[in-house]
Amino acid sequence: MLKHLFVVLLVIFTAAGCSQPDSVVKVAGPTMGTQYHVSWIGQNDSAEQIQHLIDQRLADINRIMSTYDPDSELSQLNRQTLALDNVTLSEELADVLAQALMIYNQSEGRFDVTVGPLVNAWGFGPGKHRDQKLSEEEVNGLLAGIGSDAIHLDDRTLSTDKPLYIDLSAIAKGWAVDQIGYLLEQQGVVSYLVEIGGELRARGSKPDGSGWRVAIERPALDSMAHQVQLVLEPGDSALATSGDYRNYFEEQGVRYSHTIDPHTGYPITHQLASVTILNPSCALADAWATALTVAGPEQAVLLANRYQLTMYAIVRTGDGFTELASDEFLRRFPGLMQGNE
């Protein structure tokens, strides 16, 4: 599912040099149709080597999971016009797909990596925006061709009951964030912040002993009108945010969001504007943020509490926004929401 992520990183980068082993080192670059930003505590003379490793790892991940690269492993699977039968996946692709199927089941089908054809048909894919409501006949026809319940994964062996188009974009960026975190740890880095397209993973603290700080943005129709809704320190955790208010169209006074409900085939119509999830795994935070955005305010809280998720959500009201949070968020960040409604 397509997502718009509203995370502002509050990181103050100090000058880094070889004689300053406790400086914040910063690198950035393009990946997955967006940008990555990686910061860690260490010596600047390691930056070039570590960035090379980061770029190489991200290129490898794209060669597996990109739907834009026609030669990627996933693209080759998606070109099949028949149901798949006992196809052996790479370890990486099998890992991401297994996590996606787990969230599909736990979210009662709200996170579905096969919903891409509906997203594209509604005009929210890489092609031209449709800006027009689909007919019931069109929606029902497309619904017949989706459904993660038709995917069967046994370790690395994949079979499907029908041809499917699998799009892992709503979990792959989070998974990549985790992978870059593991890479840094393998290089001996213990304090870092990794961010790709708004998904992030934090470990350790900055040189002054303070934690990495993250600001969750208040929804706004104007993409340049950045306002901070909430600031928190995630600690040793990952964070992902999903929202729906910047990618939509209106027809006859009805607002059609880019977030598609896999149950109905139609864009969501509830008032949930954004969902932020904190989790040890950025892949799971990424997927759950999308699933709970589909679920809507009441069901999002129920699911978050059922699975003890750390969730913070912003909901539209008649004249602005209000906040919702799971029990785990309130336990972990007591009093943080006061004064932010």
pLDDT digits (tens, 9 = 90+) for 164-222: 999 999 999 999 999 999 999 999 999 999 999 999 999 999 989 999 999 998 876 55
Q: Check residue 247 and give its pLDDT.
A: 56
What is the count of structural domains for the chain? 1
Q: What's the CA angle centered on 192, arms 186 and 198, to 5 degrees?
A: 115
At 165 the pLDDT is 96
For residue 208, tell me if it sits in a domain. no
Assigned domain for 104 exists: yes
* Closest by Cα among 185, 189, 191, 186 to 204: 191
**Which residues sit opposite 248 in a β-bridge?**
257
Q: Give the residue ranges of the chain where pLDDT is below 70.
A: 1-21, 125-131, 220-226, 244-257, 338-341
Residue 320 has what pLDDT?
82
Query: Beta partners for 332?
Result: none
Q: How far apart are CA 304 and CA 327, in angstroms?
A: 8
* CATH code at position 126: 1.10.3980.10
Q: Flag whether 26 is in a domain.
A: no
- In-domain check, residue 239: no
pLDDT value at residue 228:
84
Domain ranges, residue 155: 67-169
**135: in domain:** yes
pTM: 0.90
Q: Is residue 204 domain-resident?
A: no
